[in-house]
Amino acid sequence: MRVATSILRPFWGCVDDSISALRRALNEVESIVTLTGAGISAESGIPTFRGKDGLWRKFSPQALATPEAFRRDPKLVWEWYDWRRCLIQKAEPNGGHYALAELARRQAARSGSFTLITQNVDGLHDRAGSQNLLKLHGDIWLVRCVGCGKEQCNEEAPLKELPPRCDCGAWLRPGVVWFGEELPRGVWERAVEACSRTKIMLVIGTSATVYPAAGLAKVARNAGAQVAVVNPDPSGIDDLADWILRGLSGEILPRLL
């Protein structure tokens, strides 16, 4: 019966030992997978979804992040996404984003593999220099035509016209995955594949409540990987964890380097 190697409560002493233990382990393994959620962008000023001033507290996902909501009132949905784009454009990546980009560089330097899987649509990982991201839920800076299906990058914030239109005249929708919509095919398969062959999985800043993303830690665990959780609060996958680092990812991740 595999015993969680160390469950840490917020006694900094313990966090230190566990960070050094995890840092050592990360320097030895050939493959690392990380899964991030809204929590990694919280210290950049982007509200999380379920946090105390989270997006889902003020706005209902059903009313704004579903194809039905867009069909019902595309202008309302775009007002929400335009507001979030303006917020994100003013934000900067934080120490957590940069630490993961550096971890990937170090893994590459020792010809190990590093896969960054994110539920975030904010693009802050890209701006921190991370490459070959697996964006499970799309990208808020992409727009897709509901008529001709053309997808393009659009970083205009605020948008001049809501809803924005495609050259073909049809409306554009945000390039994100809404509830009830399938995750981007290749991206999901590659995420599952990476989790099923990794040695360590870091799960950072997610409540692990949205599926199928929340099921990836179990895929890794069942394949024999060790799982480390970085989150100031309990999350849906703590029981799968070998390490629980209770703290802010912007403070903890740089200390893994």
137 is catalytic: yes
Residue 235 found at the interface with ligand BV8 (CB under 6 A): yes
> DSSP letters along 9-76, please?
-S-HHHHHHHHHHHHHHHHH-SEEEEEE-THHHHTTT---SSSTT-HHHHS-HHHHSSHHHHHH-HHH
Residue 225 found at the interface with ligand BV8 (CB under 6 A): no
Tell me which residues touch Zn ion (CB under 5 A).
145, 147-148, 150, 166, 168, 170
Q: Which of 15, 19, 35, 42 binds ligand BV8 (CB under 6 A)?
A: 42
Whose CA is closest to 37, among 206, 235, 243? 206
Residue 25 found at the interface with ligand BV8 (CB under 6 A): no
Tokens 């775009």 -> residue = 78
Residue 121 found at the interface with ligand BV8 (CB under 6 A): yes
Q: Which of 5, 54, 146, 254 binds ligand BV8 (CB under 6 A)?
A: 54
Residue 28 found at the interface with ligand BV8 (CB under 6 A): no
Nearest approach in angstroms of CB 154 to ligand BV8 is 16
Q: What is the DSSP letter of 120?
A: -
Distance CA 3, CA 22 (A): 16
- Choose from ligand BV8, Zn ion, none: what does 232 bind? Cβ within 5-8 Å by kind: ligand BV8
Per-position x/- string for 141-180, each x denoting binding to ligand BV8 as judged by CB under 6 A, each - no binding:
-----------------------------------xxxxx
Tell me how many degrees the CA angle 92-47-102 measures, rounded to the nearest 5.
40
The number of C-alpha atoms within 13 Å of 39 and in the hemisphere containing its C-beta is 26
Catalytically annotated residue among 85, 125, 135, 137:
137
- Start-to-end C-alpha separation, the chain: 31
Instruction: Kindly list the catalytic residues.
Output: 137
